[in-house]
Structure 1
Amino acid sequence: MTSARFQHAVTALILINAVTLGLETSATVMAGFGPALEFVDSSLLCLFTAELALRIFAFRVRFFRDPWGVFDLVVIGISWAPSGGDLSVLRSLRVLRVLRLLSVVPSLRNVVEAMLAALPGMGSIVLLMGLMFYVSGVMATKLFGESMPEKFGTLGGSIFTLFQLMTLEGWVEDIVKPAMENHPGALLFFIPFIVISTFVVLNLFLGVIVESIQTLRETRESADAEAAQAATDAAASAAHADSQMLLSEVRALRMEISTLRAERG
């Protein structure tokens, strides 16, 4: 169940399923190969279910203690949900099976675990960004609310516009140039905001995630090193015990030989 060959086979099936689900979005392909694609999809679902049943049988309670195992169970369970009537939307959720790559590919699993581990550290950055958006939104409403009411007329509208500004989506033509028509010094507000929000705060997020990945890697390497050292110590102890037993047998054999010689003498 945990062999590399078995994992590679499961990965290949997931990739095949991803291709078939993508082909089903084409009306032309479905008109020509619709029944065949549906048969392949149903067959793959049965294979995934059998693979999941084997894992549950092999690991039993340990399977449900593994978050990735529960994730696979939920994804496969959604795929078996009825897709008729009001629940027809569940049919589109079959594509979630492709997300099983996260639990099968170790590198992807490590990235997701690192991101989840980084969530507590992101709290302070989110608070900082929220505070920055609130202060900047109030300032933008007071500065540009009268001249650009559709963008900065309300606090909520200002915060939304600033979020668009942070993404750098149409920030020159839609926001900065219209603001500079009535406020020539508007760049003194927008440029620092863009630099702080886009290049500083977002890089802080990346820094926290990268640090989490490095910490997770170091922790696993340390655990592997400890396990290898423990195995080495156990092997050394076993070898020492074997050598002591062999030495005892040699001594006993020498005593028997000495006894035999004494009896003959």
Structure 2
Amino acid sequence: MRTDAWHSRAAAGRFVLSSPVQTFIIVVILVNAVILGLETSPAVTESFGGLLHVLDQICLGIFLIEIALKLYAERLGFFRNAWNVFDFLVIGVALIPGADGFAVLRALRVLRVLRLISVIPSLRRVVDALVRAVPGIVSIAALLVIVFYVGAVMSTMLFGARFPEYFGDMGASLFSLFQIMTLDSWSAIARTVSAEIPWAPAFFVPFVLISALTVLNLFIAVIVDAMQGLDEDRVRNGEAPVHEVTVGGHGEAAVLAELRELRAQVAHLTQSLESGARPARE
């Protein structure tokens, strides 16, 4: 009986991780995203609100079936995979009642669209690269905070008296410098200040060069370096650096599931042989 249950769980795991099923899940996620977008239109909701609600519940039911099959196949091992936990939480939010004090949770249904990240390998690698780049990003963010603090103190002292709307206090200066860093109408602020203070460009130009053109580009460099590091690790482990591994028409996840199944079968046979050998010795 236990062997039959194990085979049924292995079959469920192969089924839910198969390429056709995963492609179908991607299509359902995209359809659900369109439905959630249409629900934001009052005119569409008034005309087709009931139909959209039914379709949304059908999509949710499909996601629940997928999660249930994975839980049945992997049992507690399901929660050892961070992407499985992510999917479980995203779907679990949709099950919380969206009425009265929990009405805000209805808006969180759109988080289901984020499941595309967990089912598309290329998107997963991007997120893995972002996670790997976190230490470098934190260091660059600390550098940016220092640059902002120094710039805010200087600009408040230099320009606060004449331009209180931009640099009247630390809060106003930080906001103005953030706008300058994003290059959002920064020249308007710089020209307004420079009209009364001719040497003001000596402050604004270096700040733009340091914050917008140097520090922000360091973020991109760190992320690119992390992605290259992931590709190097995949190559070092004998895996494909860009495309998902395929063996015999199956995706990487399906191949790993089959390997786990084979390992479990070998362990089961070994246990059977050992149990059969004991009575013979006796």
2:193 and 2:25 mapped to 1: Cα distance? 55
1:220 to 227, 234, 241: 234
1:122 and 1:225 mapped to 2: Cα distance? 27
Return the letter of the residue paired with 1:121. Answer: G
Under a length normalisation based on structure 1, what TM-score does the superposition of the two structures give?
A: 0.82
User: 1:224 deviation in Å?
Assistant: 3.0
For structure 1, the residue ranges without an aligned partner over 5 or more in a row are: 229-265
2:131 to 116, 128, 134: 116
User: 1:34 deviation in Å?
Assistant: 1.0
Aligned to 2:52: 37
Aligned to 2:61: 46
User: 1:221 deviation in Å?
Assistant: 2.4
> Residue deviations 1:186-237, cap 9 Å, x none?
11110111111111111100000000011011112222359x9xxxxxxxxx
**1:21 equivalent in alignment to 2:36:** yes
User: 1:92 deviation in Å?
Assistant: 1.0
Aligned to 1:206: 220
1:108 and 1:151 mapped to 2: Cα distance? 40
Return the letter of the residue paired with 1:90. Answer: L
2:97 to 82, 88, 92: 82
1:82 and 1:120 mapped to 2: Cα distance? 38
Aligned to 2:87: 72
2:157 and 2:47 mapped to 1: Cα distance? 61
1:220 and 1:211 mapped to 2: Cα distance? 14
User: 1:72 deviation in Å?
Assistant: 0.5
1:134 and 1:110 mapped to 2: Cα distance? 35
Aligned to 1:194: 208
Aligned Cα root-mean-square deviation (Å): 1.5
Under a length normalisation based on structure 2, what TM-score does the superposition of the two structures give?
A: 0.77
1:143 to 158, 181, 194: 158
Aligned to 2:192: 178
Return the letter of the residue paired with 2:158. Answer: L
User: 1:113 deviation in Å?
Assistant: 0.9
Which stretches of structure 1, 4 residues or more, deviate above 3 A after TM superposition? none
3-state SS in 2 of match to 1:224:
coil
Equivalenced residues, count: 226
The share of aligned pairs that are identical, in percent, is: 47
More helix by share: 1
1:11 and 1:155 mapped to 2: Cα distance? 47
1:116 and 1:60 mapped to 2: Cα distance? 27
Return the letter of the residue paired with 1:135. Answer: V
Return the letter of the residue paired with 2:42. Answer: A
Return the letter of the residue paired with 1:65. Answer: R
Return the letter of the residue paired with 2:135. Answer: P
1:24 and 1:220 mapped to 2: Cα distance? 42
Aligned to 1:107: 122
Q: 1:87 to 1:225 in 2, by over 3 A?
A: closer
1:58 and 1:125 mapped to 2: Cα distance? 43
